[in-house]
């Protein structure tokens, strides 16, 4: 099959479009003809190389996939069925998995990250329980743009932060995959949404997605603006994934009893915390990683009903994966960048 792989860590230039062996099915697995695969920051991290993480080489990235089932070594699978894929893999038999918290499984892995070759290819294989059938009205590009970021944002807002109608939420980096998903989910719940972005054009997009109020994080102080616009109260929930560059401002933006949820550290992993503020303001800090299979099944109902809609920035053919990654790396995008295969 044709695939985009890297044989060594480095910049986008290490990505090679080349012939690779077809995946071989094991019992319980299905083979999917990939039609679209969305990019995530994880793709960039694994290409550059991470401390203490060994990425098997040559490597095929890509955790957000939509396509058609072409073969199955499992019962009750319809060949030709249009599907999107659950990006999370877990053992399926530990206490966490059997309690419906499969993203806490010790064997938890993301498709395309370590030992499961991903969707930058014509074919990908996954366990049968990772299939999510999609209706005919949903195209492959939007289907691929949905799973990872909406699952992540859903788990952060609904499960971790316990977002309620009437809460004030601050969503950082509205143009990111998690940002555009979080704005929509927070609107769906009935929260008031503040969003940040780095350009006026992106702030306008954030408004059109449903943000009530927007802050330019390059020219304005996020915490000061939040204080001013909430009558000095702060927000109930902060959706953080930027890391070092924004962490202190995110904490300062919280109201008493506020919850900060973080799922990433794009600008670096260091973050200080004022312990006096933590206890005196009764703050809660939640770490969040992906989400459960059940949560994705729940969230897709709103996608299929037209109440959540992943924003597609633009598409690239598979062979131009390096160009696509460069666009993500330079934060030029608003929404998801998708490879068409």
Contacts to Zn ion by CB under 5 A: 90-91, 94, 97, 105
What is the separation, in whole angstroms, between the first and last Cα of the chain? Answer: 11
- For residue 102, the minimal CB distance to Zn ion (Å) is 6
- For residue 94, the minimal CB distance to Zn ion (Å) is 3
- For residue 294, the minimal CB distance to Zn ion (Å) is 14
Residue with tokens 């900060």: 260
Sign of the four-CA dihedral 285, 289, 295, 299: positive
Nearest to 11 by CA among 328, 305, 286, 223: 328
Query: In angstroms, how far apart are the furthest CA atoms of the chain?
Result: 60
- For residue 97, the minimal CB distance to Zn ion (Å) is 3
Residue with tokens 């993500």: 328
Nearest to 118 by CA among 15, 28, 27: 15
- For residue 98, the minimal CB distance to Zn ion (Å) is 8
**Distance of alpha carbon 312 from alpha carbon 310, whole angstroms:** 6
- Residue 254: how many other CB atoms lie within 10 Å: 26
With respect to Zn ion, which residue has the nearer C-beta, 105 or 143?
105
With respect to Zn ion, which residue has the nearer C-beta, 129 or 309?
129
With respect to Zn ion, which residue has the nearer C-beta, 86 or 184?
86
Q: Which two tokens stand for residue 157?
A: 């807002």
- For residue 88, the minimal CB distance to Zn ion (Å) is 11
Q: Which residue is nearest to Zn ion, using beta carbons?
A: 105
- For residue 99, the minimal CB distance to Zn ion (Å) is 10
- What are the CA-CA distances from residue 131 to residues 135, 227, 236, 259 (Å)? 13, 44, 35, 33
With respect to Zn ion, which residue has the nearer C-beta, 100 or 269?
100
With respect to Zn ion, which residue has the nearer C-beta, 129 or 284?
129
Residues 6+ apart with CB under 8 A from 2: 17, 18, 19, 20, 121, 122, 318
- For residue 37, the minimal CB distance to Zn ion (Å) is 25
Output b/e per residue, 176-204; b: 16+ Cβ within 10 A. Answer: bbbbbbbbbbbbbeebbbbbbbebeebbe
With respect to Zn ion, which residue has the nearer C-beta, 90 or 292?
90
With respect to Zn ion, which residue has the nearer C-beta, 82 or 293?
293
Write the DSSP string, 36-105. EEE--HHHHHHHH--TT----SSB----EEEEEEEEESSSS--TT-EEEE--EE--SSSHHHHTT-GGG-
With respect to Zn ion, which residue has the nearer C-beta, 91 or 319?
91
């Amino acid at each position: 099959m044709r695939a985009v792989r890297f044989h060594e860590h480095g910049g986008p230039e290490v990505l090679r479009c080349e012939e690779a062996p077809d995946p071989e099915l094991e019992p319980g697995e299905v083979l999917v003809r990939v039609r679209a695969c969305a990019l995530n920051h994880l793709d960039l991290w694994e290409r550059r190389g991470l401390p203490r993480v060994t990425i098997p080489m040559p490597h095929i990235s890509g955790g957000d996939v939509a396509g058609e089932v072409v073969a199955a070594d499992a019962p009750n699978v319809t060949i030709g069925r249009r599907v999107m894929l659950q990006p999370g893999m877990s053992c399926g038999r530990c206490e966490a998995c059997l309690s419906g918290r499969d993203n806490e499984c010790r064997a938890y892995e993301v498709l395309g990250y370590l030992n499961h070759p991903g969707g930058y290819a014509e074919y990908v294989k996954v366990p049968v329980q990772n299939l999510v059938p999609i209706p005919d009205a949903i195209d492959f590009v939007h289907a691929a743009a949905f799973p990872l970021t909406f699952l992540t944002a859903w788990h952060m807002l609904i499960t971790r932060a316990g977002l309620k109608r009437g809460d004030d939420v601050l969503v950082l980096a509205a143009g990111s995959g998690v940002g555009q998903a979080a704005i929509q989910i927070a609107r769906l719940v009935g929260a008031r949404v503040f969003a940040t972005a780095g350009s006026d054009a992106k702030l306008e997009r954030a408004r059109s997605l449903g943000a009530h109020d927007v802050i330019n994080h390059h020219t304005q102080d996020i915490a000061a603006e939040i204080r001013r616009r909430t009558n000095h109260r702060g927000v109930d929930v902060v959706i953080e994934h930027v890391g070092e560059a924004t962490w202190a401002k995110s904490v300062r933006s919280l109201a008493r009893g506020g919850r900060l949820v973080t799922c990433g550290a794009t600008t670096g992993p260091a973050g200080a915390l004022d312990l006096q503020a933590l206890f005196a303001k009764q703050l809660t800090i939640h770490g969040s990683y992906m989400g459960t299979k059940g949560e994705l099944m729940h969230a897709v109902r709103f996608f299929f009903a037209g109440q959540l809609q992943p924003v597609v920035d633009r598409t690239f053919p598979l062979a131009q994966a390096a160009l696509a990654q460069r666009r993500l790396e330079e934060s030029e995008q608003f929404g998801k960048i998708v490879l068409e295969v």
